[in-house]
Amino acid sequence: MKKTLIALTLAALPVAASADVILYGQIKAGVEVSQTKTKVNGVETKSDTGSEIADFGSRIGFKGHEHLGNNLNAIWQVENSVNVAGGGDWAGRESFIGLEGNFGKIRAGKLETQLKSMDSLDPWEYNNNALGLGMFQRTGERIVSVKYDSPVWAGFSGNVQFTPRDNGTDVRGEGVTTGRTDDASDTSRYYAGLNYENAGFFARYGFGYKKSAYVTTGGESKSGQAHKVEGGYDANNLFVGLGYQYTNGWDSYDSYRGALGYALDTTDNPAYTDGYDAEADSSVGVKAHEVATTVAYRFGNVVPRFSYAHGFKAKGAGLDDAQRKRTKYDQVVLGADYDFSKRTTALVSAGWLRAGGGDNKAETTAGMVGLRHKF
């Protein structure tokens, strides 16, 4: 059915050209290799070297607008995820309908939050999170919501976003959650953002608030919030960016460890993931502080870059120091892009990610070569 729908849509494009329909997209993939060393209660193990052909978020989209008069436009977009290894998700990426005018724009659909849009510190293409700042970016989401974006005033712009209770999910990925003593079914969410750009300098702030973010061991629902700030300079071939993120209840202890375990590809490591089970998660909420930086410089067609991220030990009610130590992490990514043209770019990167410390830690090293084409 999806293939038929896509084929019919493509066939209709010449007819729809008068309606200002634009076809766009990216195809990007490569070969990744990785290996993980773990130490559990002082016992060291090493995984086999893994390798795979990985897709890095390829997509095909359609977008357009219609002039309604009085500086008012109807706008729409349907963006679909595709995979060079097969598969995809129709309208699985940012897809919406809305209005745009002098007042700004208002949209409804599956939309990126400000936390998701704040991705300038993570320009990497990857599937294995050791090759990019996926842990630092985990708070970013595309979610069914309504969103208002203001016009730009003297370099400043802002946005607010709301997800109704029946469209939200909790940390388990559920809507109306089960196993709770307080019958909490309100999983609504609120987001906001503030941006500033001037002469190459930029600063951004993102906020997210989730009702019923996680459930305690006693079955009580708790809310969670996330704050992220980033700033830097992006002009004259130079990019320098710094970021800080604070979360409180956005993650449970188990989901935070699960995110680190996924990033490290260590599902067989009992010190970190224990095969994270979202349905069974009733661990405490955690407070976490993280920082990240990225530096890049363009030399002709080549753009070398460097990223570093650090997660401090998370805090949570009842967590001892050994448990808290398992939540800290350090990460380094090095790489470069080479532009064959404005549309086609070769990619190469290497990454190192360590979670935990002492007698309980995991270290992943990974490398990637790939290709990206935009249209």
**C-alpha distances in Å from residue 176, one per residue of 185, 189, 210:** 5, 14, 14
**pLDDT averaged over the chain?**
86
Answer whether residue 356 is part of any domain.
Answer: yes
Give the residues of the chain that fall short of pLDDT 70.
1-19, 169-185, 216-219, 261-282
Rounded CA-CA distance 51/48 in Å is: 10
* Residue pair 76/64 in contact by the 8 Å Cβ criterion: yes
pLDDT at 230: 98
pLDDT at 19: 59
* Residue pair 40/360 in contact by the 8 Å Cβ criterion: yes
Answer whether residue 131 is part of any domain.
Answer: yes
* Domain membership of residue 290 as a residue range: 24-56+113-374
Classify the C-alpha dihedral 195-166-144-92 as positive or negative. Answer: positive
| Beta bridge partners of residue 227, listed in sequence order | 207, 246
Answer whether residue 77 is part of any domain.
Answer: no
The string of DSSP codes covering 141-168 is -EEEEEEEEPPPBTTEEEEEEEE-TTT-
Rounded CA-CA distance 349/114 in Å is: 27
User: Rounded to two decimals, what is the model's pTM?
Assistant: 0.87
Q: Is 243 helix (H, G, I), strand (E, B) or coil?
A: strand
Answer whether residue 72 is part of any domain.
Answer: no
Read off the pLDDT of residues 104-114 as tens digits, 9 standing for 90 and up.
999 999 999 99
* Residue pair 308/352 in contact by the 8 Å Cβ criterion: no
Tally of domains within the chain: 1
Rounded CA-CA distance 192/205 in Å is: 8
pLDDT at 321: 87
Give the closest residue to 306 by CA, choosing from 323, 298, 294.
Answer: 294
Number of residues that this document lists for the chain: 375
- For residue 11, give both structure tokens: 């066939």
* Residue pair 320/341 in contact by the 8 Å Cβ criterion: no
DSSP-derived letter for residue 71 is T
- For residue 353, give both structure tokens: 């990610």
Rounded CA-CA distance 75/63 in Å is: 8
* Residue pair 28/60 in contact by the 8 Å Cβ criterion: no
Read off the pLDDT of residues 275-327 as tens digits, 9 standing for 90 and up.
555 555 667 889 999 999 999 999 999 999 999 999 999 998 888 888 888 89
CATH classification of the domain holding 322: 2.40.160.10
Strand pairing category for 104-112 and 156-163? unpaired
Percent with pLDDT over 70 in the chain: 83
Read off the pLDDT of residues 151-179 as tens digits, 9 standing for 90 and up.
999 999 999 999 998 887 654 554 433 33
Answer whether residue 213 is part of any domain.
Answer: yes
Answer whether residue 88 is part of any domain.
Answer: no
Rounded CA-CA distance 334/306 in Å is: 5
pLDDT at 264: 43
Rounded CA-CA distance 251/208 in Å is: 12
